[in-house]
Amino acid sequence: MTFMADAVLTPAIVFLVDALRSRKSTLAAARHFEEEVMRLLDQQAQVEGRAPVQTQWTGGTAFRFDGYLPEGIGDFEGPLLLEVKYLPAPTDAALKDLAATIQRSAFEANRIEARGVLIIHSLILDGAAREYIQRVLANLQDLQVFVWDLLSLDDLVAKQAAKGPPNEERGPSRLDLEMRGSDEWRAKRDGHLASLKQEFNDNGVAIFLGAGVSQGSNLPSWIDLVGGLFTVAFEESLGGEGTDESDVKTLSRALAKLSQSPLQLTRYLRQAMRAEPRQFVDEVAKILYKNVSTAGAGPLLDEVVDLCRPTRAGARVHAVITYNFDDLLELGLSDRKVEHLSIFHGDTYPSALELPVYHVHGFLPRDFSKYDRLQHNLLIFSEENYHRVYTDPYHWSNIVQLSTLRERTCVLLGLSLTDPNLRRLLEAGTRDSTAPRHYAYMKRVSREDVIKVEPDLSALDVAVVERFLRAHHVTQAAVMEEIGVNIVWFDNYEAMPAALRDLSR
């Protein structure tokens, strides 16, 4: 980061600048800058005897700012909206980015009853740059927009130091701020959904699908799939035909808990079956579709299919990347006459009229005869294939995922986001970003959920458990933001289809 030659900063701001430089990614630096700005503003509000920074807007409007000061700060009267903008370097591109932030913030603020907007960025601008920003501000009407740079923050720190010895406590963290209101996450979710809807309509998205989107289709769970393979592998040892399926499921659950990795477990089962790769794949396919429903793919996947239908403005979903083996998505797309192409090889390319559906973990359709060269399809279902693909940075599936994450805003559905390779690709794809650009729909963990795992927790005070879970969700969201993902929280899975449907309205 380069500063004006005559800029002399207080030690606290110099320390902040050094801390930003030390961050491994632009996204991590942006988050740290936002946390420090919020802390400084909160301390100043307390010095002035005003209400501290808030992050939940209660006015009933989708809130897409970083926070607000209900009673203002300094000479600025509240409520004052806050937008914190990290800019890595004083370049022409950064200046245009700042101007766009000012214009967008002014547009968003017009929907909210506030006195003005305070935008704080991480640079020190020279004379020409300051004049450019002043011209941008002069074009705004009916709204006060104030812009602070690092020098303004430096003045704030100097004023706080002049009040007396520095407080040993660092002040509230982002976690503290977001823990103030129990419904804070709902306001953030509404803001995320509003931003995603605008992006969907303006530029379109890509969709990433995991196993969770197929709930309601009777596809087997991981435990049931492993249980079926367990039966095939050990049928003779367990007494041959007629083996009680409930006993097999109980044994497979115990085995799954003892195994450190699902991938290791499937490699173990393939070895126990003494099966050739093709035979192993056939057995997986049999179990996969044994009880599958013909009534539909499930409400969430149905909404995904509807989003994939082109509108008058053209296709708003540019690609689907799925980690599932099944063909439920393809059947839904065919039913709704959506032109698409299933891709499970690196040398298959869609036409301009086809929606690409990338099966990056392999593909097991019910009718093998509909697809060419399916025998060469690599099923990433066990440890050896996982290693083979993800240690090769030039494997087509890695390239497709990374390029999509870099070029598109992505909606992640039915994914736990624990897969190490996906997290690595997410982090690599957002390395130069200053704000998270992807959105993951996820269910919040409830008290009932944790009691199922640990029954002894039922004896704890309800308020204690709720506070713990609130802190857990805030922290989890912060972790995901560091790798470029905004978590869109829901109380239950049933609310997700309606939220997805609303994107195209």
Domain boundaries, position 269: 222-288
In this prediction, what percent of the chain has a pLDDT beyond 90?
35
Mean of the pLDDT values across residues 248-271?
65
pLDDT class for 261, splitting at 50, 70, 90? low
pLDDT class for 294, splitting at 50, 70, 90? low
**CB neighbours (10 Å) of residue 166?**
12
> For residue 236, what pLDDT is reported?
58
Residues 170, 79 within the same domain:
yes
Residues 405, 458 within the same domain:
yes
Residues 284, 166 within the same domain:
no
Residue 470 belongs to a domain: yes
pLDDT class for 179, splitting at 50, 70, 90? low
Residues 229, 208 within the same domain:
no
Q: Tell whether the torsion through CA atoms of 15, 17, 22 and 25 is positive or negative.
A: positive
Residue 5 belongs to a domain: no
CA pair distance 26, 88, nearest whole angstrom: 7
Write out pLDDT tens, residues 190-204: 888 988 998 999 999
Alpha carbon of 83 to those of 65, 256, 498: distances in Å? Answer: 6, 47, 30
By the 8 A CB rule, do 285 and 214 touch? no
CA pair distance 227, 248, nearest whole angstrom: 6
CA pair distance 39, 54, nearest whole angstrom: 11
366 phi and psi, to 5 degrees?
A: -70, -35
Mean of the pLDDT values across residues 252-267?
63
By the 8 A CB rule, do 239 and 351 touch? no
**CB neighbours (10 Å) of residue 490?**
18
Which among 288, 308, 332 is the end of a domain?
A: 288
Write out pLDDT tens, residues 490-500: 999 999 999 99
Q: Please state whether beta strands 67-69 and 80-85 pair in parallel, antiparallel, or not at all (unpaired).
A: antiparallel
Residue 427 belongs to a domain: yes
- Of the candidates 242, 185, 45, 30, the one whose C-alpha atom is nearest the C-alpha of residue 123 is 30
User: Is the pLDDT score of 76 beyond 80?
Assistant: yes
Residues 264, 335 within the same domain:
no
Residues 271, 303 within the same domain:
no
pLDDT class for 371, splitting at 50, 70, 90? confident
Residue 346 belongs to a domain: yes
Which among 230, 263, 288 is the end of a domain?
A: 288
- Of the candidates 271, 288, 368, the one whose C-alpha atom is nearest the C-alpha of residue 326 is 288
pLDDT class for 168, splitting at 50, 70, 90? very low
Residues 114, 254 within the same domain:
no
CATH of residue 97's domain is 3.40.91
> For residue 382, what pLDDT is reported?
60
Residues 332, 253 within the same domain:
no
Residue 194 belongs to a domain: no
Which of 180-194, 299-313, 333-347, 439-453 shows the lowest per-residue confidence on average (mean pLDDT)?
Answer: 180-194
Write out pLDDT tens, residues 87-130: 988 889 999 999 999 998 888 888 787 889 999 999 998 888 99
Mean of the pLDDT values across residues 268-289?
74
CA terminus-to-terminus distance, the chain: 43
Residues 152, 272 within the same domain:
no
CA pair distance 180, 42, nearest whole angstrom: 13
Which of 50-64, 146-160, 236-250, 448-462 shows the lowest per-residue confidence on average (mean pLDDT)?
Answer: 236-250
Residues 374, 236 within the same domain:
no
User: Is the pLDDT score of 36 beyond 60?
Assistant: yes
pLDDT class for 177, splitting at 50, 70, 90? low
User: Is the pLDDT score of 374 beyond 90?
Assistant: no
Which among 155, 181, 207 is the end of a domain?
A: 181
Give one DSSP letter per residue of 390-421, joined into a string.
HT-TTSHHHHHHHHHHHHS-EEEES--S--HH
By the 8 A CB rule, do 267 and 383 touch? yes
Residue 46: exposed, middle, or buried by beta-carbon count in 10 A (0-12, 13-18, 19+)? middle
> For residue 108, what pLDDT is reported?
84
Residues 274, 410 within the same domain:
no
> For residue 505, what pLDDT is reported?
79
Residue 26 belongs to a domain: yes
pTM of the model: 0.80
pLDDT class for 232, splitting at 50, 70, 90? confident
User: Is the pLDDT score of 342 beyond 50?
Assistant: yes
- Of the candidates 83, 41, 44, the one whose C-alpha atom is nearest the C-alpha of residue 64 is 83
Mean of the pLDDT values across residues 42-69?
81
Instruction: Enter the DSSP assignment of 440.
Output: E
Alpha carbon of 323 to those of 217, 360, 415: distances in Å? Answer: 16, 6, 9
- Of the candidates 230, 254, 222, the one whose C-alpha atom is nearest the C-alpha of residue 238 is 230
To which residue do tokens 């693909």 refer? 389
Q: Please state whether beta strands 340-343 and 355-359 pair in parallel, antiparallel, or not at all (unpaired).
A: parallel
The number of folded domains in the chain is: 3
Torsion-angle region of residue 274: left (phi > 0), alpha (psi -120 to 50) or beta? left
pLDDT class for 252, splitting at 50, 70, 90? low
Residue 189 belongs to a domain: no
Looking at per-residue confidence, does 19 or 272 come out higher?
A: 19
How many helices (H) does the chain have, and how many strands (E)? 19, 11
Residue 4 belongs to a domain: no
For the chain, give the mean pLDDT: 83
**Most confidently modeled range among 11-25, 100-114, 240-254, 405-419:** 405-419
Write out pLDDT tens, residues 207-218: 999 988 987 788
Looking at per-residue confidence, does 264 or 349 come out higher?
A: 349
Residues 323, 419 within the same domain:
yes
